Amino acid sequence: MAKTVKTLGQLKKSGYKVLPIREELRKNLIAKIKSAENIFPGIEGYENTVVPQLQNAILSGQDIILLGERGQAKSRIIRSLTTLFDEWTPVLDGIELPENPFNPISAQGKAMVRELGDRAPIRWMHRDERYGEKLATPDITIADLIGEIDPIKVAEGLYLSDEMTIHYGLIPRTNRGIFGLNELPDLAERIQVGLLNVMEEHDVQIRGHKVRLPLDVIVVATANPEDYTNRGRIITPLKDRYGAQIRTHYPPTIEHEIKIMHSEANDIDMDECRLIVPQYMEQIIAEITRLARRSPDVSQRSGVSVRASVAGYEAIQANAVRRAIRLGESCAVPRISDLHYLVPSLQGKIEFETVEEGKEDQIIAKLINGAVASVFNNLMENIGKDSQLDGISAAFSEDRSVDVGEAKKAEEYGSIVDSLDGMKEIIDSITDDNTVEMQASCIELVLEGMHLNKLLNKDRLQGEALYRM
């Protein structure tokens, strides 16, 4: 229909019915629920918490505010709501605002339908066009969100009293769609007052004009709980206009965290070598972030975003690739020694509590060690190889030491397997991959895990680690 219907008259003959957007969302949501379709693809860990609340709010036709710390997919959720719209919807063509052809709301739209009647042109707007967004900042004005008198139109001869002199702001221009307002508490209170009528009565006043503008728009906002007491607050009347306040959260399990890492991380495409990330390395990256969310040394008011896991995952891949290219290896596999390169990524993602200058690196190192120990101990318990660690320890009793490092070639690790009783059996239990690069990664995991469990000592020597009794 979108390719053939071009005028209001043709649209009438087709029998097409334009639904108010809340009814349109409700209709399409019901269809998706019946077909058991994934309503919010890419959103992990919210299946039994946030998603049911969102569905209830949409079915109820409510405006929504999402409350949660940074990196909890609030903006992504808002943007994904447009998938519940029909793919195409008709609007009057050549009009400043997207308007229902059967019920125009602006003076310009009404004049077009009145003058052209069934010849009024229409265009078909894709659902991706039905979303507008603004980051709330203290310098936002009513003109930005609602509108302002356009001095150019006045200079062209229109009277100030003429509604046609109005230049509409972002919210009216999102008519027939969803408007997302990020970090709502940062919006000045006097501007928040300007949103009250937009959300409830639809009476918009612009420089003395009282314009009856019944916008068909849903205003969805996000906020961080910290902002209620620090940078700003949501005024009570505006908060009361929102039908649903939904609290978001971080991924509930390490599996959810890893799924997000996979979906969000940048791919490193290479022709020279293939990249393989062992499952235990993925678990370590995710566990570092999860430990940071419980650490007393990390600001829990700001939270620790999933972006920390994503950035860390990208960092270890990048260092493994860099090593493989530099050493001419055919396979890039991240190792424990690569975790040192997480520091630049994590420092930008974590806000620390008051600590002495220079202590941040020590806190990150503590988080990394805690994650490695946790993942290693769980792995050894699952594969039942705890007893074989004692055999490896015994091999170190005769003044033997083993040195490893992120810059060493994987083939140099072969002698370690041969010289340490039980190492090969443990590696075979961890992975079926017999490449020397994977073997090297497993060896570093076992040695570091034993060190963190106080079975081995460790010395750092110019970028390498020396393990000994």
pLDDT number for residue 205: 63
How many angstroms separate the Cα of 447 from the Cα of each of 170, 396, 422, 455?
A: 58, 11, 12, 9
Token pair 């979108």 is found at: 2
The CATH 3.40.50.300 domain(s) of the chain lie at: 8-247
Other residues' Cβ atoms within 10 Å of the Cβ of residue 379: 19
pTM assigned to the model: 0.84
CATH architecture type of domain 8-247: 3-Layer(aba) Sandwich (3.40)
pLDDT number for residue 155: 52
pLDDT number for residue 19: 94
Provide the greatest CA pair distance for the chain: 98
Rounded Cα gap, residues 86 and 104, in angstroms: 19
pLDDT, averaged across the chain: 86
The β-bridge partners of 209 are 206
- 73-106: pLDDT as tens digits: 898 999 999 999 999 999 999 888 899 999 998 8
The arithmetic mean of pLDDT across residues 380-408, rounded, is 80
Q: Which pLDDT band holds residue 165 (cuts at 50, 70, 90)?
A: low
pLDDT number for residue 230: 45
- 126-152: pLDDT as tens digits: 999 999 998 888 888 887 887 776 655
The arithmetic mean of pLDDT across residues 227-243, rounded, is 71
Q: Let me know: does 192 contact 142? Beta carbons within 8 Å.
A: no
Q: Which pLDDT band holds residue 203 (cuts at 50, 70, 90)?
A: low
The β-bridge partners of 10 are none
Rounded Cα gap, residues 10 and 16, in angstroms: 9
Other residues' Cβ atoms within 10 Å of the Cβ of residue 37: 11
Sorted by sequence, the CB contacts under 8 Å of residue 109 that are 6+ apart come out as 92, 95, 97, 99
Sorted by sequence, the CB contacts under 8 Å of residue 469 that are 6+ apart come out as 393, 396, 397, 400, 456, 457
Q: Which of 150, 246, 233, 142 minimizes the C-alpha distance to 195?
A: 142
The β-bridge partners of 452 are none
Amino acid residing at 160: L
Q: Which run of H or E residues covers position 124?
A: strand 122-126
The arithmetic mean of pLDDT across residues 431-435, rounded, is 90
The arithmetic mean of pLDDT across residues 116-124, rounded, is 93
Average the pLDDT over each of 190-199, 341-350, 434-443, 445-454 and give the range with the smallest value: 190-199
Rounded Cα gap, residues 275 and 8, in angstroms: 56
pLDDT number for residue 209: 60
Q: At residue 158, does pLDDT exceed 70? A: no
What CA dihedral angle connects 49, 50, 52 and 58, to 10 degrees?
170
